[in-house]
């Protein structure tokens, strides 16, 4: 592990000192789905790369602010920010809708101001049980952000043990609500079994709407997230399903476990080969493998290298490779 940290630090030092302020939306324009691919306004796959904020409650809540957004853009070189609004847990949207909406819209607005794309994530494992609340929320977001090509609606994070028909029925109702106000921006639909059964989705995708994509999640070191899971995604891509990796981590599915660099590199190369847009999990200082920040990292950004975990150093280094 010491050798891994040393190599990551070495790579990271090579990328220090090149602050970026790229307006990615000016560069790519409005996104669309054509022929099973997410394309920009020039009909090129933009491949957005970035990070996911943690649940908008608990310890991750303090990083929902413009200072962090600005630092992630200028220092990490993100083109995509995922805003993971907690729904069902205590203090989440179901209990505190006004507070949660205020927190995330402040962060979304900061991302828009910096020219980033932003995933508005209904971070709920049981969204089908909260259909009316979801419809109300996304209607408000669509009214507020119509005409802003930055915004991507992620309407169901990681459906648990729910069959595709249930997820699909829920998604169609929410899509209808969004499309009343926003006819164009991309909507990302969840896949069954924590966004893993995307091959099942590919056999029966949603029809009748434009600019719909589907989420796929993996954790690079998770023993069950290896060849068979990659094969499912390959099948979906080959079938023409537009795939968006809205969450992935360097550790295991519980957020902890081993950071296996070799397995992570294999998954990373796979995303690059398939030109998939992605958001890495996650901006938090919780003491676990997939956390990008070390315990006590400032809620104002401007993190020095000793405030990044091995995962954070790795992700920052990878993102900075794409400065151009």
What does the alpha-carbon distance between residue 288 and residue 300 come to, in Å, rounded to a whole number? 21
pLDDT for residue 198 is more than 90: yes
> Do residues 256 and 286 make contact, with C-beta atoms less than 8 angstroms apart?
no
**How many other CB atoms are there within 10 angstroms of residue 292's CB atom?**
30
Nearest CA among 94, 75, 66, 74 for reference residue 83:
66
pLDDT, tens digit (0-9, with 9 covering 90-100), for 235-294: 999 999 999 999 999 999 999 999 999 999 999 999 999 999 999 999 999 999 999 999
pLDDT, tens digit (0-9, with 9 covering 90-100), for 227-238: 999 999 999 999
Nearest CA among 119, 220, 206 for reference residue 169:
206
pLDDT for residue 199: 97
pLDDT for residue 323: 76
**H or E segment at 105?**
helix 97-113
pLDDT for residue 8: 52
pLDDT for residue 19: 59
For residue 106, what are the CA distances in angstroms to 63, 65, 68, 110, 169? 11, 7, 12, 6, 31
Task: Cis check for the bond before 282: say yes or no (omega within 30 of 0).
Answer: yes
Q: Which of 154, 158, 177, 222 is catalytic?
A: 158
The secondary structure of residue 156, as a DSSP letter, is: -
Q: Does domain 2-12+42-320 have CATH number 3.20.20.80?
A: yes
pLDDT for residue 324: 66
Rounded to an integer, what is the distance from CA 91 to the centroid of its chain?
A: 22
Q: Is 52 helix (H, G, I), strand (E, B) or coil?
A: strand
pLDDT for residue 154 is more than 60: yes
Q: Which of 154, 222, 247, 252 is catalytic?
A: 247
pLDDT, tens digit (0-9, with 9 covering 90-100), for 200-237: 999 999 999 999 999 999 999 997 898 999 999 999 99
Residue 118 — pLDDT band, cuts 50, 70, 90?
Answer: very high
> Do residues 286 and 59 make contact, with C-beta atoms less than 8 angstroms apart?
yes
Residue 13 — pLDDT band, cuts 50, 70, 90?
Answer: very low
pLDDT for residue 12 is more than 50: no
pLDDT, tens digit (0-9, with 9 covering 90-100), for 53-85: 999 999 999 999 999 999 999 999 999 999 999
Q: Is 184 a catalytic residue?
A: no
What does the alpha-carbon distance between residue 45 and residue 151 come to, in Å, rounded to a whole number? 17
pLDDT for residue 95 is more than 70: yes
> Do residues 115 and 26 make contact, with C-beta atoms less than 8 angstroms apart?
yes
* Domain locations in the chain as residue ranges: 2-12+42-320
pLDDT for residue 17 is more than 50: no
Backbone angles phi, psi at 117, to 5 degrees: -85, 145
């Amino acid at each position: 592990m010491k050798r891994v940290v040393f190599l990551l630090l070495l790579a990271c030092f090579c990328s220090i000192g090149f602050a970026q302020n790229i307006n990615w939306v000016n560069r790519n324009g409005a996104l669309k789905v054509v022929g099973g691919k997410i394309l920009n306004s020039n009909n090129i796959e933009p491949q957005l790369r970035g990070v996911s904020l943690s649940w908008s409650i608990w310890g991750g809540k303090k990083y929902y602010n413009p200072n962090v957004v600005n630092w992630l853009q200028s220092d990490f070189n993100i083109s995509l920010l995922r805003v993971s609004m907690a729904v069902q847990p205590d203090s989440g949207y179901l209990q505190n809708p006004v507070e949660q909406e205020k927190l995330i819209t402040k962060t979304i607005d900061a991302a828009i101001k910096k020219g980033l794309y932003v995933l508005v994530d209904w971070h709920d494992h049981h969204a089908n049980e909260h259909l009316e609340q979801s419809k109300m929320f996304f209607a408000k977001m669509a009214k507020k952000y119509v005409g802003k090509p930055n915004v991507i609606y992620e309407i169901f994070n990681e459906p648990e043990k729910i069959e595709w028909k249930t997820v699909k029925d829920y998604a169609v109702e929410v899509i209808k609500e969004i499309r009343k106000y926003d006819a164009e921006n991309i909507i990302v639909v969840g896949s069954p079994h924590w966004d893993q059964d995307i091959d099942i989705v590919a056999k029966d995708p949603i029809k009748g709407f434009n600019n719909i994509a589907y989420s796929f999640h993996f954790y690079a070191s998770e023993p069950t997230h290896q060849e068979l899971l990659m094969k499912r995604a390959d099948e979906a891509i080959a079938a023409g399903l537009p795939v968006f990796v809205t969450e992935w981590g360097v550790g295991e599915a519980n957020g902890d476990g081993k950071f296996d660099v070799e397995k992570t590199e294999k998954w990373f190369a796979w995303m690059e080969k398939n030109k998939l847009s992605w958001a890495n999990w996650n901006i938090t200082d919780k003491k676990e493998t997939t956390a990008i920040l070390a315990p006590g990292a400032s809620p104002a950004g401007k993190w020095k290298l000793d405030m990044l975990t091995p995962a954070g150093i790795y992700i920052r280094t990878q993102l900075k490779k794409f400065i151009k």
